[in-house]
Structure 1
Amino acid sequence: MNSLRAQISKILTWSCVDGPGNRMVLFMQGCNFNCATCHNPHTIGQCDSCGECLPVCEPKALSLVDGRIAFEPSVCTQCDACLDVCPISANPMVRSYTVQEILDLLHEHAGFLSGITISGGEATLQLPFIRSLFSAMGEDVDLRHLTRFIDSNGHLGPVAWKSVLEVTDGVLLDIKAFDPELHVHLTERSNARSLASARLLHEAGKLYELRFLMVPDATDRDEEIDSLIKFVQSLDGPVRLKLNAFRTHGVRGAAAQWPAMKKKRVEAAAERLVHAGLGPVELPALW
């Protein structure tokens, strides 16, 4: 199973904002949501080798080989011009990794890490790879101390969740909105599965953190914060909460012109959550 492959947009060998401690983060390519507020929109689509990116790649790191885009990382300058011109929000610099290659990378950095987080895009679209990687980590005497986390939008069914939770230490789950129509407006998907996932993960003791993105004149409304409070209270037990603030960095389309979330508004929402007896509540590290 260590020969299983994943399409990975980017790897961070360390991060302190993607779960507890210092973590390696794999940003998987592909997403089943199309969030207007996404700051990594290039992780949504899958490259169709249209060739639009070739003229803007000055170092010639991208080429067309047998009708498919080929990427040579050794000459790439990370200018990201190819991401800016892609018409389908894809990343032509995606690389294919085996489970063994990621295990080797973890061995190289294990002494500095607390764990690994599989993010995206949407991590669970490549669930067999995650199951295989997490299982192998648990069987490796030099890696089994590392915690294994998934960062997800929750659009995964219960059977699939249960197939991976045994080898997963925690899930960072995003709730984009509670009002069903607003959620569809922001993501083009229903929120029913995300809410069901939050309940399932909490009951299984795997919901490490529930994340909520505050968007001006949308999810920052009192009705949405009320719904967040009621939902967390219904989970019957402490839940770690993180309030994120909408920023336009990396955002495309109409949302790029939306106002950024005000710090005072986020702090006020956090006070309401704490007053309701919820928490701990984490605020954005940077503004």
Structure 2
Amino acid sequence: MNKSWAIVNKLLPFSCVDGPGNRFVIFLQGCNFKCLNCHNPYTISLCTECGNCVKSCPHKALSFINYKVIWQTSVCQQCDTCINTCVHHSTPMTYKYSVDDLLITIRKYLPFLNGITLSGGEATMQLPFVEKLFSTIKQTNDLKHLTCFIDSNGYLAKTGWQKVENIMDGAMIDLKAWDNDVHKSLTGRDNLRVKETIKYLAKINKLYEVRFLIIPEHTDLQDNAENIAKFLIDLNPNIRIRINAFHNHGVRGIAKKWSSANKKQIEIFAEQLKQNGLKHFTLPTVYL
């Protein structure tokens, strides 16, 4: 991947849930997990240029030229027919941004921003670009006050985090299951590296938040609150915890039939963590 540009799924100019303050969020395309409950499965893979989505577009916003799928944004109606057609967990509706392109866009909203967050997909899949963007921000006078955060599944190896730790202000890490086998069944990957990431980032004071998603009858987090609390308290007793509630709106496949988490289930898990010594929680404000 050329470090000077990135494949971007979406830009969100303002967010108050992706790190501290008001943040400009960049959603990068591509992920190394295949979560059964993913609400954005079209962000998992890069486009294979197979062209199967072209004929499906009812607005003729897609064309196939020189074995490449071309997306005409001016014609597109955002109906998502192409996304629903794609069998590769991808989308033709992505953007190619250079670092300079993004800085121009960021400056449009600069007076209102506290920082930048890279999300996905999985942002660390395009790590060379992350390095380039963050280092440029830190070296640019009118931007260097912005904090640089990564929202990640935590699967990046320690050597990868070491490449960005000096230009990154913090990371939010998802721990999707406590047991390795449960984690693998949900995501396709084990969680050993995720736990190592949490430990390492806590050690270097770059772990901003650990996030949990409660999926009734499918995650094992609720049954391992004591183990989770001990693991995190040994790293930092003041660690921030965000608990999210699964909902089945927008998911595909088997997870479409899974039950959504309710307020009581979330509060029970939070209380279990609290009884075992954790203090700082953010809970959902809306349940679907």
Q: Which TM bucket (shorter chain)?
A: over 0.9
1:219 and 2:219 equivalent?
Answer: yes
For the 8 Å contact 2:226–2:273, the answer to whether it is kept is no
1:83 and 2:83 equivalent?
Answer: yes
Q: How many correspondences in the alignment?
A: 286
Structure 1 segments, 4+ long, off by >3 Å, are: none
Equivalents in 1 of 2:69, 2:279: separation in Å? 47
Amino acid at match of 2:136: A
Q: CA deviation at 1:222?
A: 3.9
Once the two structures are superposed, the pairs formed by residues 126-141 of structure 1 within 5 Å of their partners are: 126-141=126-141
Amino acid at match of 1:198: I
Equivalents in 1 of 2:137, 2:149: separation in Å? 12
Question: Could you say if the C-alpha distance between residues 52 and 169 of structure 1 is closer, same or farther in structure 2, counting changes exceeding 3 Å?
Answer: same
What do the CA deviations read for 1:52-107 (whole angstroms, capped 9, x no partner)?
22223222221111011111212221111111111011011111110110111111
1:248 and 2:248 equivalent?
Answer: yes
Question: What is aligned with 2:104?
Answer: 104
Equivalents in 1 of 2:64, 2:285: separation in Å? 41
After TM superposition, the score normalised by the length of structure 1 is 0.96
- Corresponding residue SS for 1:73: coil
- Corresponding residue SS for 1:6: strand
Q: CA deviation at 1:221?
A: 5.5
What do the CA deviations read for 1:208-261 (whole angstroms, capped 9, x no partner)?
000011110132554232332122122143100001111112211101110101
Once the two structures are superposed, the pairs formed by residues 1-287 of structure 1 within 5 Å of their partners are: 4-219=4-219, 222-287=222-287
Amino acid at match of 2:210: L
Structure 1 unaligned regions, length at least 5: none
For the 8 Å contact 2:177–2:220, the answer to whether it is kept is no
For the 8 Å contact 1:177–1:224, the answer to whether it is kept is no
Q: CA deviation at 1:276?
A: 2.1
Deviates more, 1:108-117 or 1:202-211: 108-117
Equivalents in 1 of 2:220, 2:242: separation in Å? 14
For the 8 Å contact 1:124–1:156, the answer to whether it is kept is yes
For the 8 Å contact 2:226–2:276, the answer to whether it is kept is no
Amino acid at match of 2:49: S
Equivalents in 1 of 2:221, 2:25: separation in Å? 32
Structure 2 unaligned regions, length at least 5: none
After TM superposition, the score normalised by the length of structure 2 is 0.95
Q: Matched residues, percent identical? A: 45
Deviates more, 1:55-64 or 1:244-253: 55-64
What do the CA deviations read for 1:22-70 (whole angstroms, capped 9, x no partner)?
1111111110000001111110011112222222322222111101111
Equivalents in 2 of 1:113, 1:61: separation in Å? 33
- Corresponding residue SS for 2:105: helix
Amino acid at match of 1:120: G
Question: Could you say if the C-alpha distance between residues 237 and 225 of structure 1 is closer, same or farther in structure 2, counting changes exceeding 3 Å?
Answer: closer
Equivalents in 2 of 1:109, 1:228: separation in Å? 39
Equivalents in 2 of 1:268, 1:151: separation in Å? 26
What do the CA deviations read for 1:100-135 (whole angstroms, capped 9, x no partner)?
101111111111111111001110010110111011
RMSD: 1.4
Amino acid at match of 1:86: C
Amino acid at match of 2:13: T
